[in-house]
Amino acid sequence: MVKKVLKFGGTSVGSIDRIQHVAKIIEKEHKNGNQVIVVVSAMSGKTNELLNLSQKISNNFSKRELDVLLSSGEQITSALLAGALINLNVKAKSYLNWQIPIITEGEHTNARIINIKTNEINEYLKKKGVAIIPGFQGISTNGDITTIGRGGSDASAVALAKIFKTDFCEIYTDVDGVFSSDPKKIPIAKKIDKISFDEMLELSSLGAKVMQSSAVQTAMIYDIPLEVKSTFTNREGTKIFGQDNIDYTKSVTGVAYSKDDAKITLIGVEDKPGVAANIFEPLNESQVNVDMVIQNISSDSRTTDVTFTIKRDDLLKTKDIFKKNNNINFEKITYNDNVAKLSIVGAGMVTTPGVTYKMFRALADEKINILAISTSEIKLSVIINEENILNAVKKLHTVFDLD
């Protein structure tokens, strides 16, 4: 007997047929004698449908009421799935977050789970019941419904796995697992069997949307092994766990990319303490998310050049900030709104010499110009022109033996 959290995403429960299919997956786990806690997302499209309703009223819809509104999506799935299980003669029960309760702190639409009461559900599991819990939500300490951000059902699953001390946390989705790159765009991309938390984090923050980053982060902190697998096949998924347990034969695990970026370079910025803060403070205040930041070595001792990337949608806003703000001194500003970020990720990179060179050589062979470079221990990112991105991903895939 093992204790498991199974989490099913929106496409996995996107129709009644699919909910009945999910019920059969759970029935099998239950028949194997496992204690099962199930976390569900809203049926695919549902959250957007509800969000659209609120936006017809106001783009500044009350966040408290938005949480009440959106939480109904997972509530609906929970009831339908519990009903489907009962129909299969599996003892099951939906537990809404206030019934458990799952307590959160922080703002509406962006809360964090801080506590989950376990007694009643543990009793129910011992009596061979399956507990179905709506993901993505909780209640605040003063009893309001909260949600924990888009994709938050992953975070719910990991938090439940942690607090219920389960042996497994399985994330069921519509793909076979985590891929070396986006399989829809890069057909030669391959499913990764095992990956470390760090690599997964780099991959997911770079555009591999299989799992929500903050959930992976929590799993990493509390060392909760995850498995991402498909609801629709019986194949093994991708196991995600601590780096110590992974035997690396490859230096690079995956190639990630994000499009719709823009690059901004401030030339001739005064090189003295506090300048970087002056540059990024107004961006932060205007909620412009800054991704890569590269400060080149000063060409003289007095000034330096600062390059950073943002989402292309934020470019107009950003231009405006630099026009209006007199706190920032620079000689010239240049924009490129047609760039993409390309990254290779691998926990083995740091111990494998020549990875950096190999990447640059591969791009040079394809005559792809590199506009900026940034590195970390397990990641190497470059900014290139957007039109080259798919070509570059394929090339790196081959060069690093991921096909």
57 binds its own copies (CB under 8 A): yes
| Cβ 105 to its own copies shortest distance, Å | 18
Q: How far is the CB of 61 from its own copies (least distance, A)?
A: 5
Q: Does 83 bind its own copies (CB under 8 A)?
A: yes
C-beta of 134 vs 237, nearer to its own copies = 134
Q: Which residues contact 355 (CB under 8 A, 6 or more apart)?
A: 251, 252, 344, 346, 349, 380
C-beta closer to its own copies: residue 101 or 225: 101
> Smaller CB distance to its own copies: residue 60 or 249?
60
The 1-20 site mask, x for binding its own copies (CB under 8 A), equals ---------------x--xx
If binding is defined by CB under 8 A, does position 368 make contact with its own copies?
A: no
- Residue 43 CA to residue 39 CA, distance in Å, equals 12
Instruction: Round to whole Å and give the CA distance between 82 and 99.
Output: 15
Instruction: Establish if 382 lies at the interface with its own copies (CB under 8 A).
Output: no
Q: How far is the CB of 300 from its own copies (least distance, A)?
A: 55
Closest of 156, 110, 129, 136 to residue 43, by C-alpha:
136
Supply the DSSP symbol for 312: G
Binding region for its own copies (CB under 8 A) out of 27-35, 89-97, 208-216, 324-332: 89-97
Rounded Cα distance between 63 and 182, Å, is 33
Under rule CB under 8 A, residue 347 binds its own copies: no
For its own copies, the binding residue among 38, 82, 279, 344 (CB under 8 A) is 82
The verdict on 98 binding its own copies (CB under 8 A) reads: yes
> Nearest approach, Cβ of 158 to its own copies (angstroms)?
24
Inter-axis angle of helices 46-57 and 63-87, nearest 10: 150
Residue 387 gets which letter from DSSP?
Answer: G
Nearer to its own copies, 89 or 326 (CB): 89
Query: Which CB, 86 or 333, lies closer to its own copies?
Result: 86
Cβ(258)–Cβ(307) below 8 Å: no
Least separation in angstroms between residue 53's CB and its own copies is: 6
Identity of residue 88: L
Binding segment toward its own copies, per CB under 8 A, in 74-82, 252-260, 373-381, 382-390: 74-82
By CB under 8 A, is residue 393 in contact with its own copies? no
Q: Alpha-carbon distance 321 to 319, whole Å?
A: 5
The answer to the question of residue 97 lying near its own copies (CB under 8 A) is: no
388 binds its own copies, rule: CB under 8 A: no
Burial 258-292 (b: 16+ CB within 10 A, else e): beebbbbbbbbbebeeebeeebbebbeeeebebbb
DSSP 347-368: TTGGGSTTHHHHHHHHHHHTTP
Site for its own copies in 132-161 (CB under 8 A): 143-145
Query: What is the residue-wise DSSP string for 94-142?
Result: E--TTTTTEEEESSTTS-EEEEE--HHHHHHHHTTPEEEEESSEEEETT
CA-based max dimension of the chain? 76
Q: How far is the CB of 103 from its own copies (least distance, A)?
A: 15
Is 79 among the residues that bind its own copies (CB under 8 A)? yes
By CB under 8 A, name the one of 51, 76, 114, 294 that touches its own copies.
Answer: 76
Cα(123)–Cα(141) distance, rounded to whole angstroms?
24
Distance (Å) of CA 3 to CA 29, 36, 119, 168, 249? 10, 6, 15, 7, 32
Residue numbers at the binding site for its own copies (CB under 8 A) = 16, 19-20, 50, 53-54, 56-58, 60-62, 64-66, 68-69, 71-72, 75-76, 78-80, 82-84, 86-87, 93-94, 96, 98-99, 143-145
